[in-house]
Amino acid sequence: MAANDDVTSLRASGLSPRNGAAAFATTHWSMVLDAQGESPAAEKALENLCGTYWRPIYGFVRREGLGPEESKDITQGFFALILERKDFQSVRQEKGRLRSFLLASLKHFMANERRDARTIKRGGGQTLIPFDDMASDDSTEFDRRAMLSADLLYDRRWALTVLDRVFVRLREESQRSANAPLLERLNELLSEEPDRPSQAEIAREFGMTENAVKQAFHRLRQRYRQLLREEVAQTVATPAEIEDELRHLIAALRS
């Protein structure tokens, strides 16, 4: 899904800054901060977050001019250090958001990396990041003349990672539903792709009225909005930060 299409889908979903607290429960990031990483559950949550949000980190490092292999080493070493030290003293200054914390920590890590290159080499042999997926990630994006700054690329990749996770969850839910074929088709409407079916076409395909399809799509968009809030909530410390992070996500997709 193209970035402009992502923005259109967010607008179409009716996403608005309200009821943020209702979408918030005990999340991975809040669990990590509350326990300061000293419990097995918090350690597992932190490892999951690192494994999920490595693409923005890798993108930032590559945009700084480093090659693929060195960027892999730095990305792996960075997350290994995060998991080892569990140092969250700067979280309060970064407003308690995983996105801001990781970027500030990465910049500090890269500024000091030449003093101890041994800490960078793939995290001392630990396998933390699924680099098998790197082929699709190491694209011509880093070779274009007109590129986003490293910070903007980081934010854009962060936003796309969040959306990818939302669409995966939505797809999985649709596949488990008794109305799976219909929901799969309705999911195509969220993509805003040029060749997506119309609601009238879906109605004819399933022998439904257009109004029934419209109502089903409305329910799907509501679930999409809820899942997006839940995903963003996983990366902030308090409910009050959800709305600002959603606005930041939309701004990143527009860049």
pLDDT of residue 166: 94
Give this prediction's pTM.
0.79
Query: Does residue 105 contact residue 97 with C-beta atoms inside 8 Å?
Result: no
108-119, pLDDT tens digit by residue?
888 876 555 555
**From residue 234, how far is each of 137, 216, 254 by CA, in Å?**
23, 27, 22
What's the Rg (C-alpha) of the chain? 20
Query: Does residue 98 contact residue 53 with C-beta atoms inside 8 Å?
Result: yes
User: Per the structure block, which two tokens stand in for 195?
Assistant: 């060749």
179-224, pLDDT tens digit by residue?
999 999 999 998 777 888 999 999 999 999 999 999 999 999 999 9
Alpha carbon 22 to chain centroid, angstroms: 20
The amino acid at residue 72 is K
pLDDT of residue 48: 84
Split the chain (255 residues) into runs of 10 and give each run's mean pLDDT. Answer: 50 46 60 72 83 90 87 87 71 71 89 59 55 56 65 94 93 92 92 86 96 96 94 88 93 88
The amino acid at residue 32 is V
d(CA 100, CA 29): 12
